[in-house]
Amino acid sequence: MPKQRILATAPISLTPIQILEQIAPVEISPKPDADSLLTQLTGTIAIVARGVEAKIDRSLIEAAPELRVIGRPGAGYDTVDIAAATARRIPVVIAPVSGFAVAEGAIALLLAIVKKIPFGDSLVRQGQWQRRYEYSTGDMTEHTLGIVGLGRIGSGLARLAQAFEMKILGYDPLVSAERGKALGVEMASLDELLARSDYVSLHMPLSEDTRGLINRERIARMKRGAILINTARGGVIESLDVLADALESGQLSAVGLDVFPTEPPDHTHRLFKDSRLLCAPHMLGVSDLAMERIYRSMAADMVSVLRGERPRFCVNPEVLA
């Protein structure tokens, strides 16, 4: 019988390795692509599916006869074929414990854009100090922030935004007006939120319902000159083209992105030549504290499953019955 192991699709820290090695040795795949992963499934009882490059699809799940649990380090699970895992009665555990870091990242992107921090930095470095009189910065105070998706992250952003004396609008079909009121948020339809907001921040999961939700038509309904922030999933925006067009036309005055429809994105796309784009490589939620919490939660839940116990966070809990 082959030796049992736990396979991580990308490097992980010592914390989850120490927790998971209570059950079996942890091995890190040298590459996250399907061909590489398929050669490493013999004896694999658990997979840590780290990174959007690692697609845990039906063919991979069916090729792992000893697989008993899949762990995703974070709240998203669109890289895992949940239906295929459920058909095999394999629990998929997630770690929705780091929303604070993404919320901080979203407001950091917005603040950097509104206050023109990258531009100001460039003036100083280029010895153009006197040009400061040619520009002014924007404000958060007395402006309207629209938050699309009021789960853990969107709610956290709403709490942070309260400090700026902003008007906060929210759209989330699963959140009641009463819940919104408790967060200091006025609930609105998506079209109303887009039309009224100076700044829009996206915080919904990627699903068939949300894929391409922010498209050319919806951007056209936004307040002219609005700022759009996306730290959710790249696929909730139709394409990079619609963002580039919106910046070129002035419909959007700036865009902040931590996520992209395809990762890594094509950095030669014309969008990346526009100075009104501020972006990061899907790293704003990867803070020290966030990753510590994520790894501990995910690894503990994977161990629970492997020991026949119930995990805290499971996408398909019906397989636990």
Checking DSSP bridges between strand 44-48 and strand 5-8, what pairing results, if any?
Answer: parallel
Number of alpha carbons in the 13 Å side-chain half-sphere of residue 14: 0
Q: Of 289, 297, 313, 296, give the one whose Cα is nearest residue 18.
A: 296
| Helical segments of 211-261, H only | 216-220, 240-249
Type of residue numbered 158: A
- Tell me if 213 sits within 8 A of 159, measured CB to CB: no
CA 28/CA 36 separation, integer angstroms: 11
233 is catalytic: yes
Type of residue numbered 70: I
* Burial (0-12, 13-18, 19+ Cβ within 10 Å), 149: buried
263 is catalytic: yes
Residue 200 three-state SS: strand
The active-site residue, picked from 5, 72, 276, 282, is: 282
CA 146/CA 131 separation, integer angstroms: 32
CA 232/CA 321 separation, integer angstroms: 31
282 is catalytic: yes
Q: Of 277, 284, 238, 276, give the one whose Cα is nearest residue 259.
A: 284
The active-site residue, picked from 221, 263, 267, 270, is: 263
The active-site residue, picked from 50, 68, 203, 233, is: 233
Active site (catalytic) residues: 233, 263, 282
